[in-house]
Structure 1
Amino acid sequence: MAAPVQAVIFDIGNVLIEWQPERHYDRVVGERRRKEMFAAVDLHAMNDRVDQGENFHRVVHACAAENPDFRDDIIRWHDDWLLMASPAIPHAVTLLRNLRRRDVAVFALSNFGIETFEIALLEYPFLNEFDRAYISGHMGVTKPDPAIYAQVEADCGLPPESLLFADDRIDNIEAAAARGWQTHLFDGAAGWAARLVREGLLNEEEAGP
């Protein structure tokens, strides 16, 4: 039998807020141009540097300067960031808030830049509602590096087996499970709601959208 859950941990991107850069680029420059650019420039690697704590503006503008054929479109990653990180996922936000109403400890653990998280906090007030927020840019390490999970454990002081973690990426889930965390691969808020009910953390009404 699994240990009782003492804290629920949410990823943010694609769990509480949709994160779909390709979708945004398809809208503004067209799918053909987007595919050409993403094939030529590793924009997700660029974003990984931001998530590891490098300055958002400097990283994006440096990448744009290094790739003049796509300069203006790469700068959109900076200027249009909030349009890529949207919209919120309302049902998941409801689950977060209902867990807190139940006095369940709720943490965030997310690959997020320092500056981009500040932007998101202004747009999405619920990101201020976590009991603890573990943001990779501030921690200097990103998921799925085991070191980020170790930092969470050391800071919160809870046993790994008492942590229930939802993330949309299997590599992040596997890394947490390897440390003994309970995990949920997020593929929609309804499945996550059902898991929280099974764990006895919410009732059916509280788990509804």
Structure 2
Amino acid sequence: MPITAVVFDIGRVLIEWEPERFYDSLIGETRRKALFEEVDLHGTNLNVDRGDPFRDSIYALADKHPDWAGEIRHWHDSWIKMASPEIPHSVRLLRALRTKGIPVYALSNFGAETFVIAQTVYPFLREFDQAFVSAHLRAIKPDAEIYAELEAGTGRRPEELLFTDDRPENITAAAIRGWQTHLFDQPETWAARLVAEGLLTEEEAR
């Protein structure tokens, strides 16, 4: 069955997501490593992606670690600096697909509040035909439930979907369901895949 729709992850596919880089610039690599060793910032963020409140979660974590409180609060107060900049070629591919009339969906682990912030800064995140956001669904990749939500919400059969994501475990979970997949490493190889599938011409994929 031919591909009838394309599914994009967001972080590290359409926008950069590099908390370590942000903290390196803020407090230096040595202190950043100590912070991330002592404080489970990524684990707390994953709970936000599951639907926990953003500010309350980060500020509660800061209260538990007073020695790092200021640094931890930056995860909330400076969040957009960690989720930047956009990846221009990927954005062009998203828009090229939509111009061709190919439905484009988002499937992303994202907090409810942070998704609103990101949409405000990056208007292209409002351009999906549908966006399936983990905090809204109370399910995260690579759990099967979130993939099933997209299938049900779009009415697409698994084999009709081409999905790109930067995390191998998320790609594997989709492939198990029968989705066609592409492990994202850079926009150029993603563009080549879209051309190979006949979804875009080489000129459209530039």
TM-score bin (small chain): over 0.9
- Give the TM-score taking structure 1 as reference length: 0.98
Residue 186 of structure 1, CA deviation: 0.1
Deviations 1:73-95 (Å, cap 9, x if unpaired)? 00000011000000000000000
The SS at the match of 1:133 is strand
- Letter of the aligned partner of 1:207 in structure 2? A
CA distance in 2, matches of 1:72, 1:171: 33
**Gaps (5+ residues) in structure 1?**
none
CA apart distance, 1:136: 0.5
Aligned partner of 1:193 among 186, 191, 194: 191
Letter in 2 for 1:107: Y
Q: Shift of the alpha carbon at 1:42?
A: 1.2
The one-letter code of the counterpart of 1:45 is: G
- Per the alignment, residue 39 of structure 1 pairs with 37
1:133 paired with 2:131, answer yes
Q: Which whole-Å deviations, capped at 9, do the CAs of 1:125-145 have from their partners, x for residues lacking one?
A: 000000000010100011000
**Scaled by the length of structure 2, what TM-score is found?**
0.99
Aligned-residue RMSD, C-alpha: 0.5
Give the 3-state SS of the residue equivalent to 1:87 in structure 2: coil
2:88 is matched with which residue: 87, 90, 109? 90
Q: What is the aligned partner in structure 2 of residue 8 from structure 1?
A: 6
Q: Distance in 2 between matches of 1:172 and 1:69?
A: 35
Matches of 1:59 and 1:99, distance apart in 2: 37
Instruction: For 1:105-120, list aligned pairs within 5 A.
Output: 105-120=103-118
Name the residue aligned to 1:22.
Answer: 20
Q: 1:157 aligns with which of 139, 155, 158?
A: 155
Unpaired segments ≥5 residues, structure 2: none
Match of 2:102 among 101, 104, 113: 104
Which whole-Å CA distance do the structure 1 matches of 2:189 and 2:138 have between them?
A: 31
- Partner deviation per Cα, 1:64-116 (whole Å, 9 max, x = no partner): 11111111000000011000000000000000000000000000000000000
Query: What is the percent sequence identity of the aligned residues?
Result: 59
